[in-house]
Chain A
Amino acid sequence: MIDAEKNEFKFLVCADCHGAGFREGKFCSSCKSFGTAMIFGGRVYYWGKYIDESTAAYEKLEKRCRDVLNLILILFGLSGLAVLVYFNHEDSFATLFSLKYWLTRSYEKLYFWITLLADLYLYYRLSQETSSEFQVARKKFNHQDQTPHELFTWASLSRMKNKDLIDVSLAFTNEANMAVQAAWELANHFGHNQVERIHFFGVLTQFDKSAIILARLGINFELFKQKISRYLTKNIISRQGNPLLSNDFHKMLLSAYRLAMIKSQRKVELTDLVSALAQPTDLDIKNKDDVQEILIDFDLNYQKIKNVVSWLVIQTELRENLSRFRSRARYKPKSGMDRAMTGMSTPILDRFSEDLTRQAKFNQFFPCLGREKEFERIFRIMEASRDGVLLVGNQGVGRTTILQGLAERMVSEDVPPVLRDKRLVSLNVASLLAGADAADAEERLLTISNEVMLSGNIVLAIENIHSLTGITVGNESSLDLAEVLAQIISKHLFYCLATTSPAEYVKALEGRSLDASFQKIKVEELDLNAAICVLEAKSGPIEYENKVYFSYAAIEKAAILSARYIHDRYLPAKAIEILEQAAIKVRQEHGESQVITGDDVAVVISEMIKIPLAQVTKKESEKLLSLEDEIHKRMIGQEEAVKIVASALRRARAELREGKRPIASMLFLGPTGVGKTELAKTVSEVYFNDEAAMIRVDMSEYQEQSSVSRMIGSGSTPGVLTELVRKKPFALILFDEIEKAHPDILNLFLQVMDDGRLTNAQGITIDFTSTIIIMTSNVGASYIQDEINKGADIENIKNYLVNESLRQTFRPEFLNRFDGIVVFKPLTMVEVINIARLMLNQISKRLEEKGISFTATDEAIAELAELGFDQRFGARALRRTVQTRVDDILADYLLKGEIGRRDKVILEAGGKLRVEKAIEI
């Protein structure tokens, strides 16, 4: 509706005075000094208030005058009564009650009657202050006899009726008026001759309502003021003279009025002005948008301002709804009896249930938001038939909240007639079954339904209805408790609502008789915008409890990041929990009255899922920039491979990657033992802070076609890969020897690498967007070896591999999906020596824990490398050599007790171990 109305207005800017209303210090006669006007629904709106230094003082004076006059009227009014009392107190007011007294003349009575007239006048004055002249005009709907907006010119102004010329300034609240005045003063202070939108933006910190908006945006006030004043000094050409409201400023004022009118407000609030500021329509294009410049500098935009304003609107609405709810709730009876007194007492039901409407009446529930569609469906089903309503949704999507919301609506009787004057009672299944065998439970259920039926004013709610299934009396052929309930409900004698989760529905209800007596409503997870609305509403209590404030970024991040990274729970519950944790964390770490930023929320989530999400700190950015060195601490050689991997990780951390694909997917090619797996492990440690965050799948186990079902599951058996990733969505997945996998499995990977998701046999979509996928292959290993030996360029080798060797094994679309194909070179002697040194260092570290120091001479290392180096097996052969020539001997020494604490062991050439015994203490 609002969108349609948007097209109906038009701004009219006077060409002679450029929309300011004045030319060379005099009235602009062409536009009646309106300057800029808004044509909307057949009326002309203009800003009729002239502002200069004296305006504020003068307005204050006027207000003072009015107040004084009112005060005089009050005193005068009271004095009449006083006079009457004074003249009549002697005979204890006996004469006052005689008719004769009132029919005779006296001066004191004359005075009294005149003061009463003054009282009426005072009443009139006070009512006038809220009169329509000072309120936002109602929308006008009859458009027949209007001049179309396009034809409207300044000349047609004189033909307009006075009541269709509306001075918007009268309907501005005091605060909004003061903000306009403050903007003028700011312009005057800087010697600007025009008041622009940026001046208004600059004074927002001065007023409570707008300061809240800036604070919610996470703006630091001091910094804001500095930036504004620097901007105003530099970017606006100052010219002396009385500042006039620019035409853009006029448009902002008029737009604010239009917004208030669309929302049927009585007054134009400061927040409407801020909304109008954030919706620049028809700006003078020759000026650049100053406000936007500042916003960009703060990493903000107009949309965010609008979102914060709507947050404030939600909170105001909540307050208004609450007071409306309270006045309506007064009429709802406290007892179980309805107002029509048709109900009867329900002692057994009361024992096993809670009265939701009663709880709602006493304000125990938080309002239910963003579920209009679900309510509409519930009401439609209940009005059309007496079928039960089954809400099917996952834990945390808000099934209970919907029930509570229904109870609230029933309290304020904001429901279809069939639900009016009824109460919503939630059956407590646990206590129904507690301490009772199946027969007792069945009897209880029957008694309860009998009570509900007879009472007639009860809507029964059964949460987690699936827990009633599988409880039978006696032998197997007898009735299940659920069957009993199904029979009762299918009689349609009362309204019933139940909840269950999709999984339980499939397991316990689908196709059974209980299912047949219900109509299903799927309760979906809230979408992002609705979830943000709920968070905005729920942020209030959390803020109050922890004495902290959420910025808009915090709310937004909580919704977006939890939607993206937390998969086993649902919005809005998961995001609310994040906000609670962030609030507690910030309060504990920084104390009260802090603003919670988006980063605080990101930190909480990244602690939970153990991957970095918060903005890159300086320390971390240094680490990221020197990622190659970091990796080389564990990896020797393979410079090219390390570089490709490091840049992929940097892209991921700087959020430059596409959100819908895995963080990185890479194919490592090369002979065995050159460091492919080692690099994968290193990446896992660097990015996920945990070497164990690696899922390793040996593709040689998946050579058959049937292995596809092993990978993604079949029937009720979960798949190996999908289950691992579902449990550990933030992981590096290493597929070893990919060339051995069955081609159908490679087809699965196409989807994973392209869309970042895979659907398992149970129909659950598994998210792969937080994984790093690395596949290794030995294809072309001997070719690489030969070419390197010939001294060929690595780039040429790679090209040949991709175009020839790999083509024979893999389909081109599969190869195309990789972010990088990395060729690992065979190790050179120098690299092998370095690896040997690294391995010995690891031994030394292990021995250090036992208090033994271990070193190796360079000759010994070289000798080990020489012995262990094998072109075919790479570093693996070296590891074996180190094991037999160093570890084994060390073990012997240790077991024989020849090495003790504080001893020094030196490995020398020829594989000899020299022990320098420590001096005994």
Chain B
Amino acid sequence: MVRENLSSRLIKFVFSEFVADILYWPVWWYTTGLKAAFARMQDTIHQGNEELALSIWLKNIFKPMFGQYDWQGRIISFFMRLAQIIFRLVIFLFWIIISLVVFLFWLILPLILLSQVFLNLGFYSL
């Protein structure tokens, strides 16, 4: 337990809140923040699979649909499922790409912003 007087506490507060905090921000962005963004991407992909039931369709690819156990039913089911899986796979790929882009965006966003700031400051020109 640390007893402090008001002024020293205030100075400390201002220092931690304004100086240290801003310095720590970029570090956080590429460590803890990056980890969180990656986890978010994983969650999104997982959710996409859940929404599209892709793994369920894949697992049941040879199972006839709607209880049609005769050979005609099996063949039709297989191609129906194949079509479904391809269709869903395409959507899922888009899904993955979008979540990947969002994650990559996290990586480069500060760099884009900084480069634009420097550009507008006249450090360089294009």
**Which residues of A line the B interface, CB within 8 A?**
21-22, 27, 33-35, 46-50, 54, 58, 62, 65-66, 69, 102-103, 105-107, 109-110, 113-114, 116-117, 120-121, 124-125, 127-128, 131, 245, 331, 339-344, 421, 454-456
Contact = CB atoms under 8 A, between A and B. Distances in A.
Chain B interface extent, by class: 35 or more
Given A340-B56, A340-B63, A109 B120 contact: yes
Contacts of B22: 121
B121 interface: yes
B32 interface: yes
B1 A107 contact: no
B120 A58 contact: no
A62 B122 CA distance: 39
B43 interface: no
B36 interface: yes
Contact of B60 (A22, A33, A342): A342
Contact of A341 (B9, B65, B119, B122): B65
A50 B4 contact: yes
21 contacts: A22-B1, A48-B2, A54-B6, A105-B121, A113-B116, A116-B113, A117-B117, A120-B29, A120-B109, A121-B25, A124-B28, A125-B21, A127-B28, A131-B32, A331-B53, A339-B56, A341-B65, A341-B66, A342-B67, A343-B66, A344-B68
A120 B113 contact: yes
Given A34-B1, A50-B2, A110 B120 contact: yes
Given A48-B2, A105-B125, A340-B63, A331 B116 contact: no
Contacts, number: 100
Contacts of A47: 1
Interface in B26-73: 28-29, 32-33, 36, 50-51, 53, 56-57, 59-60, 63-69
Per DSSP, chain B at the interface is helix
A748 B20 CA distance: 84
Given A127-B36, A342-B65, A342-B67, 10 more contacts: A48-B1, A50-B2, A113-B120, A120-B29, A121-B22, A121-B25, A124-B29, A127-B33, A131-B32, A344-B68
Given A66-B17, A341-B66, A342-B67, A124 B33 contact: yes
A105 B50 CA distance: 46
B120 A105 contact: yes
A340 B67 CA distance: 11
A339 B63 CA distance: 13
Contact of B117 (A48, A110, A340): A110
Nearest to A51: B1
Interface string B57-94: 10110011111110000000000000000000000000
A128 B121 CA distance: 30
B15 interface: no
Given A54-B6, A65-B17, A120-B109, A113 B33 contact: no
A110 B63 contact: no
Contacts of A34: 1
Contacts of B32: 131
Given A21-B1, A48-B2, A114 B117 contact: yes
Given A33-B1, A340-B57, A128 B120 contact: no
A-B CB proximity, top 7 nearest: A344-B67, A110-B120, A340-B60, A21-B1, A454-B67, A113-B116, A113-B117
A46 B1 contact: yes
By CB atoms of chain B within 10 A, which of A54, A58, A120 has the most? A120
Contacts of B114: 117
Contact of B1 (A35, A66, A117, A120): A35
Given A49-B1, A58-B6, A62-B13, A117 B113 contact: yes
B108 interface: no
A109 B109 contact: no
Contacts of B119: 103, 105
Interface of B: 1-4, 6, 9, 13, 17, 21-22, 25, 28-29, 32-33, 36, 50-51, 53, 56-57, 59-60, 63-69, 109-110, 113-114, 116-117, 119-122, 125-126
A21 B1 CA distance: 7
A22 B117 contact: no
Contact of B3 (A27, A103, A343, A344): A27
Contacts of A66: 17
Given A50-B1, A113-B117, A65 B13 contact: yes
Contacts of B110: 117, 120
Contacts of B1: 21-22, 33-35, 46-50, 245
A343 B68 CA distance: 9
A636 to B, nearest CB: 79
B36 to A, nearest CB: 7
A443 B113 CA distance: 74
Nearest to A28: B1
A343 B33 contact: no
Contacts of A49: 1
Contacts of A69: 17
Contact of A124 (B25, B56, B66, B125): B25
Contacts of A121: 22, 25
Nearest to B28: A124
A35 B2 CA distance: 11
Contacts of B59: 340
B28 A342 contact: no
Contacts of B122: 105
B77 to A, nearest CB: 9
A102 B28 CA distance: 29
B59 to A, nearest CB: 7
Contacts of A48: 1-2
A344 B66 contact: yes
Nearest to B116: A113
B120 A33 contact: no
A109 B117 CA distance: 8
B92 to A, nearest CB: 15
A106 B63 contact: no
Q: Which of A58, A66, A113 has the most CB of B within 10 A?
A: A113
A640 to B, nearest CB: 71
A27 B1 CA distance: 9
Contacts of A117: 110, 113-114, 117
A342 B6 contact: no
Contacts of A33: 1-3
A214 B6 CA distance: 37
Nearest to A244: B1
A127 B60 CA distance: 42
Contact of B120 (A50, A54, A65, A106): A106
